[in-house]
Amino acid sequence: MRLNGRAICLTIFVDDTDTWQHKPLFTEIVHRAHAFGLAGATVFRGVEGYGATSIVHTTRLLSMADDLPVAIVIVDEVDRIRAFMPQLEELPISGLITMQEVEVVHYKGREGAGT
């Protein structure tokens, strides 16, 4: 796959304890993106954050080390991301989903990857 120029960055924010069918929700989202054939997805674990509940979750306090923020970032062409969105609708996402236009200036896999 070649990805160059105008694209969309889809970011999905969830808690690291959110699950779907007994596995992490972020794992399900990444696997759905992969099965859909999207260019790539990465999960970033936050060390501190808050959302709609206004409750700050942090790793600094042992008693509040649960429900840390996780961001799943997926980049692909606009039409492919929009076609993927229904895949997310059946999941119990109780966080923020954003889309931003981005310009891809470099997208190349490692030599021999996937063989």
pLDDT in tens, 61-99: 555 556 788 999 999 999 999 999 999 999 999 889 999
How far apart, in whole angstroms, are the C-alpha atoms of residue 84 and residue 54? 29
Q: What is the DSSP letter of 111?
A: T
CA distance 20 to 27: 9
pLDDT, tens only, 10-56: 999 998 899 999 999 999 999 999 999 999 999 999 887 777 777 77
Among candidate residues 90, 83, 85, 101, the one with its CA nearest the CA of residue 9: 101
CATH code, 10-104: 3.30.70.120
Whether the pLDDT of residue 115 is over 50: the answer is no
What is the reported pLDDT for 111? Answer: 65
Residue 3 confidence (pLDDT): 85
